[in-house]
A and B are shown apart, each in its own frame.
Chain A
Amino acid sequence: MDTSIPESAAGARIALAALAAVIALASSYGLSLGLRRAASRTSHQQPTPEAWFETPTPSSPALVAQGRKLFLASCAHCHGADATGDEGPDLHGVQVSDRYISNIITHGIKGEMPSFRKKLGRDEIVRLTAYVRSLD
C-alpha cells in the first residue's frame, strides 16, 4: 500500500499548523494587552513596557554596597533596615523589571511612596536598583 503523502498536502498541513501556532501566540498577546490595560486602569502603578532583550541594570558588589548605603539613608525607615518591610513592603525577590524598580524610585507611588527624582541622581538610582535586585 502506498502511504506516501503528496508534497502539496504535506506542505499545506505544515502551513496550517504554523498558522495555528501564530494565532495561538497572537491571541495570548492580545489577552496580555487587555489584561495589562485593565490592570493599569485599576492600579496606580502603571505597568512598564516589556522588551524581549532587556538590558539589565549594571550590577557589581561595589554598586550593591553603595546602593545599600543609599537605601539605609533614604528607604530603610519605611522598608526596614533589612528591606523585609515595615511601613513599606518587603523588597526581597520582587518579580518586576529593573526599569520598573527605577521608575518607582524616581516617580514614587501616589499617596504611598514619595518621589526621589529631586533627591537622588540617575547614578544613585542605578545603585539603589542594583541593591534591590540583589535582595533574594
Chain B
Amino acid sequence: MNSEMWAKMHGATVHFPIALILCSGALDASGFFFPGPAMRRGLHAAGYWTTMLGALGTVPAVVSGLVMSKGVMLGHDALRLHHLFVWPAFALIVGLAIWRALAGDFATKKAPTGYLATVGLAAVLIMGAGYWGGEMMLGH
C-alpha cells in the first residue's frame, strides 16, 4: 500500500480513540456523582468499555501514523507538535486501560481522583494531538 492509503487509514482510525477516551472520562466522572447504584454501575461499565476500546483503537492509529510518516517519531513543525502530544497521550491511555482492567468494579468505590485526573490529562493531550493533526491537514 502506498503512503496515501496509509494516510487515509490514519484518518479513518484516529477518531475512534479520540472520541472513546473523551467519552470514557465523562462517563466515569459522572458515574461517581449519580446517587442510584444501577445508574452508577451502568455509567462505570460504559466508562470501562470505552476506555478499553479507546486503548485498543490507539494501536491502529499509531501504526498507520508511523507507517504513513515512514517511521518519523517527531518530525518538524505541525507534525512535531502533533507527536509531542501523541506519545504522552498514547502512553497514558495504555497505562490507564491496564490500570482500569486491574482495578475492578468502580460502582462501590469513592472517586479515585488520581485516575480521573489522569484521564483528564489524557483527554487534553489527545485533543492537542487532534488539533495539530487537523492543522497539518487543514491549517495554513
User: Which of the residues A1, A13, A22, A28 comes within 8 Å of B73, measured between beta carbons?
Assistant: A28
A-B pair number, CB within 8 angstroms = 86
> In the bound complex, what is the Cα–Cα distance between A32 and B67 (angstroms)?
8
> In the bound complex, what is the Cα–Cα distance between A34 and B71 (angstroms)?
7
User: Which of the residues A14, A22, A95 comes within 8 Å of B79, measured between beta carbons?
Assistant: A95
Q: Are B71 and A32 touching (Cβ within 8 A)?
A: yes
Q: Are B79 and A13 touching (Cβ within 8 A)?
A: no
> In the bound complex, what is the Cα–Cα distance between A32 and B102 (angstroms)?
30
- With CB as the reference atom, state the residue of chain A lying closest to B67: A35
Interface positions of A from 26 to 63, Cβ below 8 Å from B: 28-29, 31-39, 47, 50-52, 54
Q: Mark B90-120, 1 if CB is under 8 A from A, else 0.
A: 1110111111001100001110000000000
Q: Are B109 and A14 touching (Cβ within 8 A)?
A: no
The interface residues of chain B lying within 8 Å CB-to-CB of A112 are none
Contact size range, B? 20 to 34
Check if B131 is an interface residue, CB within 8 A of chain A. no
- With CB as the reference atom, state the residue of chain B lying closest to A97: B76
Q: Are A50 and B73 touching (Cβ within 8 A)?
A: yes
Check if A8 is an interface residue, CB within 8 A of chain B. no
A13-B99, A20-B98, A22-B91 known; A3-B71 Cβ under 8 A? no
8 smallest CB-CB distances across A and B, nearest first, come from A35-B71, A21-B95, A36-B71, A17-B99, A21-B91, A39-B70, A17-B95, A20-B98
Give A contacts to B, CB under 8 Å: 1, 3, 13-14, 16-18, 20-25, 28-29, 31-39, 47, 50-52, 54, 95-98, 100, 136
Sampled A-B contacts (9; CB under 8 Å): A20-B97, A32-B73, A35-B71, A36-B71, A47-B70, A47-B71, A95-B76, A97-B75, A98-B76
Give B contacts to A, CB under 8 Å: 62-63, 66-67, 70-80, 87, 90-92, 94-99, 102-103, 108-110, 136, 140
Told that A17-B96, A21-B91, A47-B72 touch, could you supply 20 new A-B pairs with CB distance under 8 A? A3-B109, A13-B102, A16-B98, A16-B102, A17-B99, A20-B95, A23-B94, A25-B87, A25-B91, A28-B62, A28-B66, A32-B71, A32-B72, A32-B73, A35-B67, A35-B70, A50-B73, A50-B74, A95-B75, A97-B75
